[in-house]
Amino acid sequence: MDLKGNVALVTGGATGLGRAICEELLKRGACISICDLDSDAGENACDELGKAFGKEKVLFCHCDVTDYVQYEDAFQTTLAEFDNIDIVINNAEIMNDKFWELEVDVNLNGAIRGTLLALQFLGKDKGGKGGMLINIGSAASVKPQISTPIYTATKHAILGLSKACGDSYHFNHTGVKVLAICVGHLDTGASSHSNRFTSSVHEKAWQLDMKGIIPQKTDHVAKGIISVLKEANTGSIWLISNGKAPKEIPYSVATV
């Protein structure tokens, strides 16, 4: 898919999946704004990706998604640099139920801040040109991860946020397509250390959570995310897990 002329803002873009998404976007001709709390990793990613794809195509904005003002500044800086923002990817996260208040503030409140800002900056009803907002969920958005109940709660909430904001009622006003893309386990090895669980019982449950799970390469998932971008309908939910191709999944709710 050709993304020439598009500008994407990616939170948590300095490392892991976020960085892999940035690389895939650049390969397809987009300009990217890496928004991350970690300035060393962010500057490093900016340098490396700038060398590979052109310095003028990559920007790093120091941004803590728990701070609305910093997050808004990142949108302003991106707009000033590239004149437009077409795609926003809410990807920043932590998985650590020991610091559950921070976890909620990054994973859920951060995604809410990013959603409100994307609608403000991209929304046709606010003078923007419309665009796309992708909220990164998890396999734990649809299957409770019993080792980390709070992380699970934040990732479940991503679906409700994306479904409601992506409803065609809102899309008809804003022109902003909203999707949730749920990602299965990655092979980064970052998730296994014991300090992220609230008790030894929870830590033990991690083995149950990981049963039958095939860890995925970040570039496989990043490619899958890009392939979904244009074809997906607003409000749709996608799953990329166990190394398989992306598939659209239903949002199950009881009849009310």
Ligand X SMILES: CC/C=C\C[C@H](O)C(=O)/C=C/C=C/C=C\C=C\[C@@H](O)C/C=C\CCC(=O)O
Ligand Y SMILES: NC(=O)C1=CN([C@@H]2O[C@H](COP(=O)(O)OP(=O)(O)OC[C@H]3O[C@@H](n4cnc5c(N)ncnc54)[C@H](O)[C@@H]3O)[C@@H](O)[C@H]2O)C=CC1
Task: Enumerate the active-site residues.
Answer: 151
Q: How far is the CB of 256 from ligand Y (least distance, A)?
A: 28
Taking CB within 5 to 8 Å according to partner kind, which of ligand X, ligand Y, none is near residue 36?
ligand Y
Residue 58 binding ligand Y, by CB under 6 A? no
Taking CB within 5 to 8 Å according to partner kind, which of ligand Y, ligand X, none is near residue 143?
ligand X
Residue 66 binding ligand Y, by CB under 6 A? yes
Q: How far is the CB of 254 from ligand X (least distance, A)?
A: 22
Among 127, 132, 149, 131, CA closest to 140: 149
Rounded to 10 degrees, what is the CA torsion of 239, 213, 242, 153?
20
Contact 63, 40 (CB under 8 A): no
- Cα gap 149→222, rounded to integer Å: 26
- Cα gap 164→213, rounded to integer Å: 30
Instruction: Characterize 199-208 residue by residue with b for buried, 16 or more Cβ atoms within 10 angstroms of its Cβ, and e for exposed.
Output: eeebbebbee
Residue 36 binding ligand Y, by CB under 6 A? yes
- Cα gap 203→196, rounded to integer Å: 8
Residue 221 has a CB neighbour count (10 Å cut-off) of: 25
Interface map 118-147 toward ligand Y (x if CB under 6 A): ------------------x-xx--------
By beta-carbon proximity to ligand Y, the closer residue of 124 and 220 is 220
Residues binding ligand X (CB under 6 A) = 94-96, 138-140, 143, 145, 184-185, 190-191, 195-196, 209, 213
Contact 34, 61 (CB under 8 A): yes
Taking CB within 5 to 8 Å according to partner kind, which of ligand X, ligand Y, none is near residue 15?
ligand Y
By beta-carbon proximity to ligand Y, the closer residue of 171 and 179 is 179
Taking CB within 5 to 8 Å according to partner kind, which of ligand Y, ligand X, none is near residue 235?
none
Residue 94 binding ligand Y, by CB under 6 A? yes
Taking CB within 5 to 8 Å according to partner kind, which of ligand Y, ligand X, none is near residue 145?
ligand X
Interface contacts to ligand Y, rule CB under 6 A? 11-12, 14-18, 36-38, 41, 63-66, 91-94, 106, 136, 138-139, 183, 185-186, 188, 190-191
